[in-house]
Amino acid sequence: MSEKKQKKVLGRGLDALLGDADNSNLTIKKNTDSFELSLDKIFVNPNQPRTNFDSNEIDNLAVSIKELGIIQPITVRKVNENKYEIISGERRYRASKIAKLDSIPCYIKAVENDTDLLKMSLVENLQRVDLDPIEIALTYERLINEYNLNIDIISKLVGKDRSTVSNYVRLLKLDPIIQSGIRDGFLSMGHGRALINIDDKKLQIEIYEQIISSNLSVRQTEKIVRGNKTLTSNNSHSDVSKIYIDATNKFEKLFDSKVTLKENNKGKVTLSTSFKSINELYSILKKISN
C-alpha cells in the first residue's frame, strides 16, 4: 500500500484483520480525536447488527453514567452538520438519553458508504459487546446476500475461522421458534448446531422442547440427535423418535447418570450407563423393586 494513501482502519485496525491485499474495497479513515456532540444530532444506525438490548442492563448503565459520565466515547460517522450516525456504542447512547445527558463524547470516523458502515458496525460490536448467535448469523447472511462477500472474506473481516462463520450461518436453517430460543438464551449455540442435523422441522421442535423441559446438555442433545438420525434412516416414524427421547430422559432420571441408547441394524436396542459404585447400583435396584 502506498504511503500517500489514507490508511484504512477499523476498531483495533482492519489491516490486522484483513491484510493489505484484502483492504482495497474499504474506505474507512482514522480519526482518533473525540468530540462532544449533542444527543439531538446523534441517530441510530438502521443497519446496526445488534437488535436485542436488555432494558435492565441499559438502566443500570444509565445509573453508572449519571455518576461517572461516559468513560468510553461512542463511534459515529458524519452524515451532515446536524446528523451523526452511530457505528458502535448504541447501548451507551440509549443509557445517556435515560440519564438525560445533553451531549456525549464521540469518535468521528469517515465512512463513505453503507457497505463499509455495516462491516465496521459488525466488527466494532463483536469487539465490544457480544451479539447473540442469531444476530451474528443474520449479519453474516446480509454480508453474503446484499454485499456479495464470501465466507473467506467475512472470516478475515471479523477475525474468525471460516468454519466458525459457516456454523453461525447454518443456524438460520433452524426452525424460527428454535432461533428465538437461542436469542432468548433458552439454549446455546451448541444445542442449535446439534439440531441443524435434523432435517425434519417438526422433529427439531420436539427435541427442542425436550431440551427445555429436561434441561439437556449439548452432549445429551447430540446423542438424541444421533439416535433420531439412525431411526429416521431406518424409516421409523416420529412416534418411535418420541419413544427414544422419552426413554433416554426417564432412564437418566432413574439412574441419575448419563445413558446411551443404541439401535443396531436388526432393531435391537442396547442401553449403557455407568455407576459410581456397587452401592449406588444396589440403591437403584431397590428403587426399581419398590
CB 202 within 8 A of CB 230: no
Q: For residue 237, what are the β-bridge partners?
A: none
Based on the residue annotation, tell me whether 90 is a catalytic residue of this protein.
Answer: yes
Q: Residue 271 corresponds to which amino acid? A: L
User: Following CA atoms 198, 201, 202, 204 in sequence, which dihedral angle do they give, to the nearest 10 degrees?
Assistant: 50
Task: Assign residue 80 a region (left: φ > 0; alpha: ψ between -120 and 50; beta: otherwise).
Answer: beta
What are the Cα distances from residue 194, in Å, to 108, 187, 189? 42, 11, 9
Cα-flanking dihedrals φ and ψ of residue 37, to 5°? -120, 140
Residue among 3, 36, 90, 146 flagged as catalytic: 90
Measure the CA–CA gap between 228 and 202, rounded to whole angstroms. Answer: 12
Q: Of 263, 255, 258, nearest to 281 (Cα)?
A: 255
CB within 8 Å of 198: residues ≥ 6 apart: 204, 207, 225, 228, 229
Q: Does residue 208 sit in helix, strand or coil?
A: helix
Active site residues: 90
